[in-house]
């Protein structure tokens, strides 16, 4: 199964460097970068796509383009450049954050009722809550996800840029999976050792993640 990244326009991108190193923990076939390819990356397939200033529109356009590439495997592992695989895996498990009702209960406790739908990301999830219902699973986990190229591409193409594509895909595909605590971590809370996945909230945690992957990967020039 191929691994597919959508990549922002950043020649440095230390998150991507560490994420590619973490692929040593996952059995996989080809690695694809869709969007930008930093000059230090090697040994991957690249689909160049010009990007604009709207990151939500960029992500949507890049995933649509990825799903149009016939050479990418029919099922692929969806990756972002700040996802890290921390334990050996043959296949990424299907993971969710609980139901939409669970998620918005947590949002309300954290942000308050007036703020729980503010911002493009939470507003998109509120849209999913209203369209899919409170019992639908939320698949917006900051970790890899295995998707079917044809179905995921169709879902992304019919949704708006800030919509939670993974959650709408999960609903259409009637997926379930296992509940996980979201693995996105920052400097304040520290890294959760022993977990299968990490995602970096800010660059302050990258030195600690880098300590777990000190050796260059086959996908970087040294």
Q: How confident is the model at residue 185 (pLDDT cuts 50, 70, 90)?
A: confident
CATH number of the domain enclosing 31: 3.90.550.10
Is residue 196 included in any domain, yes or no?
A: yes
pTM of the predicted model as reported, rounded to 2 decimal places: 0.95
Q: How many helices (H) and strands (E) does the chain have?
A: 7, 10
Structure token pair of residue 139: 């698949």
Q: Residue 146 forms beta bridges with which residues?
A: 77
Q: How confident is the model at residue 63 (pLDDT cuts 50, 70, 90)?
A: very high
Contact 32, 1 (CB under 8 A): no
Is residue 127 included in any domain, yes or no?
A: no
Number of domains in the chain: 1
Is residue 145 included in any domain, yes or no?
A: yes
Q: Is a pLDDT exceeding 80 seen at residue 188?
A: no
Q: How confident is the model at residue 192 (pLDDT cuts 50, 70, 90)?
A: confident
Is residue 220 included in any domain, yes or no?
A: no
| DSSP reduced 3-state for 147 | strand
Distance (Å, rounded) from C-alpha 36 to C-alpha 34?
A: 6
Residue 165's domain spans which residues? 2-98+137-212
Is residue 43 included in any domain, yes or no?
A: yes
Is residue 117 included in any domain, yes or no?
A: no
pLDDT tens by residue, 79-138: 999 999 999 999 999 999 999 999 999 899 988 988 889 999 999 999 999 999 999 999
Distance separating the N- and C-terminal Cα atoms of the chain? 26
Is residue 112 included in any domain, yes or no?
A: no
Is residue 103 included in any domain, yes or no?
A: no
Torsion of CA 172, 178, 179, 182, to 10 degrees: -80
pLDDT tens by residue, 32-60: 999 999 999 999 999 999 999 999 999 99
């Amino acid at each position: 199964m191929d691994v597919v990244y959508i990549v922002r326009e950043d020649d440095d991108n230390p998150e991507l460097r560490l994420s590619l190193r973490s692929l040593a923990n996952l059995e996989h076939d080809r690695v694809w970068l869709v969007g930008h390819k930093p000059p230090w990356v090697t040994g991957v397939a690249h689909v160049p796509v010009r990007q604009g200033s709207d990151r939500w529109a960029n992500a949507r356009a890049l995933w649509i383009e990825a799903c149009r590439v016939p050479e990418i495997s029919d099922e692929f592992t969806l990756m972002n450049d700040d996802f890290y695989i921390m334990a050996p895996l043959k296949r990424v498990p299907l993971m969710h954050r609980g139901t939409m009702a669970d998620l918005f209960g947590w949002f309300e406790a954290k942000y308050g009722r007036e703020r729980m739908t503010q911002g493009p990301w939470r507003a998109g999830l509120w849209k999913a809550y209203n369209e899919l219902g409170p019992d639908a699973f939320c698949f917006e986990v900051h970790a890899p996800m295995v998707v079917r190229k044809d179905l995921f591409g169709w879902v992304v193409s019919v949704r708006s840029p800030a919509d939670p594509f993974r959650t709408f895909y999960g609903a259409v595909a009637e997926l379930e999976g296992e509940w996980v605590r979201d693995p996105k971590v920052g400097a304040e809370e520290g890294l959760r050792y022993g977990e299968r996945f990490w995602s970096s909230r800010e660059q302050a945690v990258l030195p600690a993640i880098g300590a777990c992957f000190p050796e260059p990967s086959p996908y970087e020039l040294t």
